[in-house]
Amino acid sequence: MKTSKSITFLFIFIAMLAVCLTLFSPIPGDTKLIIRVVLIVVSYFLWRWFNRRDLTEFKNLAFAFMALNLAFLIVSVFTVKFWGLNMETTKGIALSKFSDSAIITTVIISLFLLAGYSLKTIYMSRGKFMPGIITGIAFFLIFGYLALNNPQQRPVPGFLGKNWIWILMFVFSNGFMEELVFRGIFLDKLNGLFNHHLSILMTSVCFAVPHIIVQYQPNVLMFAGICLILGMICGYAMHLTRSIIAPALIHAGADLMIMIPIFTTYGVK
């Protein structure tokens, strides 16, 4: 890359990584609120500034940041306490994730539509439907098989029969939301600035790094590495099929390998 493009790549990467780290980090509520408002204001003024100077790629990227932060600001109102959910049950955990996913995706999609963007720019389209659906289902089934046949953490008898609907609700909600948040709203904009390999690498790293802070994996560095590989797979699936369908299904399948052992280990009913 030329020096100017390298600097641009580094600056955008740092900005995206910083924003992604604020999304799920255990930051105190008041501090996170201030951060979110500041990011929204900065993104808004950058969006307007780039728009006046006809810097289309940067304008679109700034809008994506603004929409993302506004969605996470709005969803922060709808807490577990607000819904009265019991987080000691698979039902409560699944409904909490469904609520977050529904609100965040609705806000983001609505903002892009109101701003005049096509849903194709955030990969909310059929794209190459058959290759996408076949690839997604294949990965989902493979990951599901591995999750159910893990010799070290097999589900106890009767667990899946009582909880399968909540497990599926969780993984599909989370898979769709995270693919939209970490890739869908960014890849098309980044492709206007860099080649798609760099765009996929950037979004994959920004997806993987926040997973270093998770508390449900003993080896967080290895887990983050796995997330990086998953991010690359989902990124190329999204790019090649021009749709969120395949990566959302792949992501949901990967979440099965995480959530079933967690629910089994911690005895969530």
Q: What is the pLDDT of residue 159?
A: 81
> From CA 241, how far away is CA 199, in angstroms rounded?
16
Span of 52-56, 67-71, 159-163, 253-257 with lowest mean pLDDT:
159-163
Q: Pick 67 or 27 by higher pLDDT.
A: 67
Distance of CA 189 to CAs 43, 79, 122, 170, 203, Å? 15, 31, 9, 29, 11
Is the model's pLDDT at 151 over the cut of 80? Answer: no
Residue whose C-alpha is closest to residue 268's, from 144, 103, 94, 113:
94
Q: State both tokens at 20.
A: 């992604």
Give the confidence band of 195 by pLDDT, cuts at 50, 70, 90. very high
Per-residue CA distances from 240 to 121, 131, 218, 237, 244 (Å) = 14, 9, 34, 5, 10
Distance in angstroms (rounded) separating the CA atoms of residues 177 and 100: 8
User: Does 90 score more than 80 pLDDT?
Assistant: yes
Q: Note the pTM of the prediction, 2 decimals.
A: 0.95
How many angstroms separate the first and last alpha carbons of the chain? 52
Q: Region 191-212: what's the mean pLDDT?
A: 96
Task: Give the chain's domain count.
Answer: 1
> Nearest to residue 234, comparing CAs of 173, 172, 174, 175?
175
d(CA 32, CA 48): 24
- Specify the pLDDT at position 269: 65
pLDDT greater than 70 at residue 266: no
d(C-alpha 247, C-alpha 217), whole Å = 23
Looking at residue 241, its pLDDT comes to 98
Chain length of the chain: 269
Look up the domain containing 15 and give its range: 3-266
* Residue 69 or 214, more confident: 69
For residues 222 and 230, the answer to whether their CB atoms sit within 8 Å is no
Residue-averaged pLDDT of the chain: 94
Q: Check residue 162 and give its pLDDT.
A: 87
What string of DSSP letters covers 123-167?
T-S-SSHHHHHHHHHHHHHHHHHHHHT-TTSPPPTTHHHHHHHHH
Model confidence band, residue 15 (pLDDT cutoffs 50, 70, 90): very high
In the structure, what pLDDT confidence band is assigned to residue 237 with cuts at 50, 70 and 90? very high
Q: What is the pLDDT of residue 267?
A: 62
pLDDT of residue 196: 97
Structure tokens, 209:
């790094």
Sign, CA dihedral 21-79-43-248, equals: positive
pLDDT of 18 above 90: yes
pLDDT at 217 over 90: no
Please report the pLDDT score of residue 251 as a whole number: 99
Buried b / exposed e over 184-195, threshold 16 CB at 10 Å, is bbbbbbbeebbe
CA distances from 229 to 68, 160, 173, 267 (A): 23, 28, 21, 29
The confidence score (pLDDT) of residue 179 equals 99
pLDDT in tens, 34-87: 999 999 999 999 999 999 999 999 999 999 999 999 999 999 999 999 999 999
